[in-house]
Structure 1
Amino acid sequence: MVKESFVQKLDVKRIASASNSRNGVPLPVLPNSKSWNSKFSSMISSQMISVPYLNPSHLISLTLQSKFPILLRRKRGKHNSGDVVLKDLKLKAEALNSLKLPVTVKAGFVGTITLKVPWKSLGKEPVIVLIDRVFILAHPVVDGRSLKEEDREKLFEAKLQQIEEAESATLEALSRSKLGSPPAGNSWLGSLIATIIGNLKISISNVHVRYEDSVSNPGHPFSCGVTLAKLAAVTMDEQGNETFDTSGALDKLRKLVQLERLAMYHDSNSKPWKLDKKWEDLTPKEWIEIFEDGINEPSNNSRNLSGWAEDRNYLVSPINGVLKYHRLGNQERNDPNVPFEMASLIISDVSLTVNEVQYHDWIRLMEVITRYKTYIEVSHLRPMVPVSEDVSSWWRYAARAGLQQRKMCYRFSWDQIQALCHLRRRYVQLYSDSLQQLPNIDSSEIRNIEKDLDPKVILLWR
């Protein structure tokens, strides 16, 4: 977040002439359009706008780094010539916790994230997002019976994040329905944002996600993964050529998506990769050496591959494809005989191969996933102490978990219903006080209550 000392109340002239006090890079000059200036001036006069005294590229760099907490900066991002470049990013271990998958990130790396913004011709040229070299190594999540305290805290924080996102979406929808505000695209600023988003160019290249499992099928470790050479999306015209649409690009959507060398492999009886150092200590060059081989090379050419990619058994051999998608605008949806959405997909030859050993590996993996889903549904009821320390708590856990899984929660006794009502009143009071930022609020009591409740119940009480 930008410090208060860097924030100044600026008029239009100051915005056009100010320069960054840190590196001397001037702020972009606003277009010399009278209508544009009049609209922006009225916006300034109607409500005071706090404008950061920073280069816009620097501001976007700070925003990206704050909005994506799953990424850790290895090097400071560059922001010259209107481009934002973040390099050598590493993925946190809890990055996938919010998805509630039976896997966790062992290591992750993102080579570069580049954002190219044409400040001088914003709304006339596309904003470009380039992501290159996304490498992720995952392994099975730790069994809940041996979860450490920090692992439980990570799961709890992921649950809270899911609740916050659902609550924000609900409040935003209620606010819109009450205000009855017109769509954002009807305003000048909304139209500009819609044009930028509708013409966004995205390119993701050199992706390798690998999963190593020594638990699901005891005695038969296996590894599987997905590789992708390139995925690019651009706006197209009626002839299928790349273009820039200024007339409702987000409402009347035309997109061309190109797919290059998407593949999936599965290596049975394959032990996890072993390194001479910790994964977090790898240099970018070492990440590329280990993960990039096999992404762009033909599957039948193993002479140029390193030992990391040799003898790879493909379930889905590398395929290429082109997707064309067209969605009619709201004003064009008059004829019920004309489809509102049309898509055409052209892909190369698809080869699917599964042997008996791979089949057994996947059956065991599906069993583990099913058990994990059953466990995660009642994880909020699980006691935090060993069985030997509190046997009665574990008996209550078994009973409550059984009732919940069999959808028989209505058999609560009156004492349980009364206790739940008191708990709800207490939680609502504590949460209301926390929103008002009243003094002497015991946040630990709120957290303790939330640990024992289902996310849907917490959202309903809030």
Structure 2
Amino acid sequence: MVFESVVAEVLNRVLGNFVNNLDASQLNIGIWGGDVKLTNLEVKETALDDFDLPVKLKFGCLTRLVLKIPWSDLYRQPVIADIEGLNLIIVPNKGVIYSEEKAKKHEKGEKDKALARLEENRKRRRKPPDSASDTFAEKFIATVIKNLQVTVRNIHIRYEDKYSHRSRPFAVGATLEGIDFKTTDENWNETIHKEVVKVVYKLVSLKNLAIYWNSGSELVSDLADNAAISQAMNDAIVINNRKPSGYKYMLEPINMQAKLALNQKPETDNSNWKIPKIKLILDVDTLAVAVGKFQYQDLLLLLEAQERFRTAAQYLKYRPHLNDYKGHYRKWWHFAYNAIVEEIVRRRRNNWNWERMKKHRRSVRAYKDAWLKKQTEKNLSNKDRNIIEETEEHLDMFNLNIARQQADMEIDRRGLTRLEDQPQGWVNWAKNWWTGGGGVKEKGESVALSSGDIMTKFEQVLTIEEKAKLFDAIDYQENIPPTDYPKHFVENVVIANLSLLMVVIEDALTLKFSIITTRIEHRASAQAIKWL
């Protein structure tokens, strides 16, 4: 079946990139059997490296990951996910070493994302979204939510910094006792829906979410072994409203319930459009926020350090691999000289070089012609494909956008037909929806997913019978026009109730607000929002 292979590929790719001790063969066996149990997973210290952040992972572990997927009755039995014991310690990345290959890869990835957004915006301006596709997406998502049950327990993510303020290291972290995402009946009692129901009820319970900021803190990452680190991280989690000693909370532990009701067919519920399509009720007991003097000082120092890193990132390729200035003055002066000459002097001279301008002009014209062919011809030649790839690699976003706009104007002027204007089946739409509009097959364009082409495999493997079964499960029919809701129909409602709000500035101010309620109503057909 197609879904097993899709889930197997996604889990192998994601977990393989972030977990050290993953047994891929055992994982595949578990997925195909519908029962995955992974314990004591070690998160790779390189997990954050590809993001080029000013931080790195010092320690990471996941105690337990359980997935139960009933393949034999996927559309009627619950899919259960259980995550327990995720501990992460993040520290400043002071030893950043410039890698030309990684820098080019990161730059290309960012450019590909920007180009994909431009192309998606262009398509939306030309052609309004397909309402039938939106209907399929809504029904598919509603079915997934109906069958999904998630439990998360004991999460602790901690950032430790001994560089921003060398005489007073600090630690900031978020802890969570648990989240439960369950299916219920109309009275919010847990249940399982084996058949298609008109209204799906989900209850989300959040227990003891807290954020702390300890100034002058001992660093957990300096402990002797991983077992001691894990124990210290687990001991810091607020359990059953028991707060550990020695922690100064900026956000006191909060408990919350979210009640979600999804009305899948408002047109047939016999309520005369009085029951909203989506109704969300948020109930929070107490929300307490506190800031102390040292916390505020540490926050300013952290923001200054991050700003320095962002400024220095532009010149990282010229920077010597040194942490101190003393005894290395000559190298630092060479660094300053090279940065100014390469980034300012030579770039300015090169911009007005006649040969460079002629080359740039030829490159933009070639890209415009190749892009025009890509938009209008089914079989793009290797030459044109190479022109697109090479030009997108060295040309900046401004010029690429100009060239694409020129190609679009020429297509309209010559009366050519774009490939996107040809009719598409549901699978082609599903591919675009699944990849977020950015996953395209051509090399150099796919940014939402890498070369795995998950939805391509989905299209190749899905049979007519499986397609019919999917449509039946989500109560969807092809070629049936979507319902036009009346303008007075309140489609979405969000209600938030807060019993007590406290804001504390240490030694200066304390504010308390009791019983805060707000209600937001959205009438999509009238493009109207009401806030009460």
Asked whether the 8 Å contact 1:70–1:91 carries over to 2, the reply is no
Q: Which residue of 1 aligns with 2:299?
A: 362
Distance 1:397 1:213, change over 3 A: same
1:312 aligns with 2:262: no
Aligned pair in 2 of structure 1 residues 265, 393: CA closer, same or farther (>3 Å)?
A: closer
Equivalent residue, structure 2, for 1:72: 19
Determine the structure 1 residue equivalent to 2:413.
none
Residue 11 of structure 1 is matched in structure 2 by none
Higher relative contact order (CA 8 A, sep 6+): 2
Question: Does 2:236 correspond to 1:289?
Answer: no
Show the counterpart of 2:394.
449
Q: How many angstroms does 1:212 deviate by?
A: 0.6
Contact 2:266 2:273 in 1 (8 A): no
Q: Give the alignment's TM-score, normalised by structure 2.
A: 0.55
Match of 2:164 in 1: 216
- Contact 1:226/1:265 (CA < 8 Å) preserved in 2? yes
- Cα distance in 1 between the residues matched to 2:105 and 2:222: 31
Report the AA paired with residue 351 of structure 1: A
Task: Tell me the residue number matched to 2:91.
Answer: 139
The answer on 1:183 being equivalent to 2:118 is: no
Residue type of the alignment partner of 1:204: V
User: What SS does the corresponding residue of 1:216 show, helix, strand or coil?
Assistant: coil
Aligned residues: 372
Q: Which residue, out of 109, 121, 131, partners 2:61? A: 109
Q: Residue 210 of structure 2 aligns with which residue?
A: 263
1:314-336 Cα offsets, whole Å, 9 max, x none, are 22222211112345557559989
CA contact (8 A) 1:427 1:449 kept: no
Q: Deviations over 1:89-111 (max 9, x none)?
A: 33334534566654332232222
Q: What's 1:231 paired with?
A: 179
- Amino acid across the alignment from 2:175: T
Task: Kindly provide the CA deviation profile for residues 29-51 of structure 1, in whole angstroms up to 9, marking residues without a partner as x.
Answer: xxxxxxxxxxxxxxxxxxxxxx6
Paired position in structure 1 for 2:222: 274
Matches within 5 A, 1:299-378: 311-326=246-261, 328-329=263-264, 331=266, 341-373=278-310
Distance in 1 between residues matched to 2:84 and 2:47, nearest whole Å: 19
Aligned partner of residue 183 in structure 1, secondary structure: helix
Q: Deviations over 1:318-369 (max 9, x none)?
A: 2211112345557559989876643322223333332211111112222333
> 1:339, 1:385 → 2: CA distance?
58
Distance 2:59 2:392 in 1: 29
Q: 1:171 & 1:217 partners in 2: Cα distance?
A: 45
Letter of the 1:148 partner, please give it.
Answer: I
User: Which residue is equivalent to 1:23?
Assistant: none
Q: Offset at 1:64?
A: 0.8
Amino acid at match of 1:141: N
1:60–1:84: 8 Å Cα contact kept in structure 2?
no
Q: How far is the alpha carbon of 1:224 from its aligned partner? A: 0.9
Structural RMSD (CA): 4.9
Distance 1:253 1:400 in 2: 63
1:149 to partner: Cα distance: 2.8
Closer/same/farther in 2, CA of residues 350 and 193 from structure 1, 3 Å limit: closer
Instruction: Decide whether the 8 Å contact of 1:138 with 1:211 is kept in 2.
Output: yes
Tell me the alpha carbon deviations over residues 402-421 of structure 1, each in whole angstroms, 9 at most, x when there is no partner: x9xxxxxxxx7696766654
Give the direction of change, closer, same or farther, for the CA distance of 1:437–1:400 in structure 2 (3 Å limit).
same
> Equivalents in 2 of 1:400, 1:197: separation in Å?
57
Amino acid at match of 2:279: M
Summarize the Cα distance change of 1:270–1:132 in structure 2 as closer, same or farther, 3 Å threshold: same
> Which structure 1 segments of 5+ residues have no match?
1-50, 303-309, 404-411
Summarize the alignment of residues 149-160 of structure 1 with structure 2, pairs less than 5 Å apart: 149-150=98-99, 153-154=101-102, 156-160=104-108
CA distance in 1, matches of 2:359, 2:22: 53
Instruction: Give me the whole-angstrom Cα distance separating, in 2, the residues matched to 1:71 and 1:214.
Output: 26
Whether the 8 Å contact between 1:232 and 1:257 is mirrored in structure 2 is yes
> Which residue in the other structure is 1:397 paired with?
343
Structure 2 residues not aligned, in runs of 5+: 321-332, 375-379, 405-444, 446-532
Q: Which SS does the other structure have where 1:217 is aligned?
A: coil
Distance (whole Å) between structure 2 residues aligned to residue 436 and residue 158 of structure 1:
28
Deviation at 1:428, TM superposition (A): 8.0
Q: What SS does the corresponding residue of 1:109 show, helix, strand or coil?
A: strand
Q: Distance in 1 between matches of 2:117 and 2:215?
A: 43
The change in CA–CA distance for 1:138 and 1:385 in structure 2 (over 3 A counts) is: closer
- Aligned residues: percent identity? 24
Does residue 388 in structure 1 map to residue 325 in structure 2?
Answer: no
Residues 194 and 248 of structure 1 are in contact (CA less than 8 Å); yes or no, is this contact kept in structure 2? Answer: no
Distance, in Å, in 2 between the alignment partners of 1:98 and 1:191 is: 35
Alpha-carbon separation, structure 1, partners of 2:391 and 2:345 = 25
Q: Aligned partner of 2:62: which letter?
A: V
Structure 2 distance, partners of 1:359, 1:345, is 30
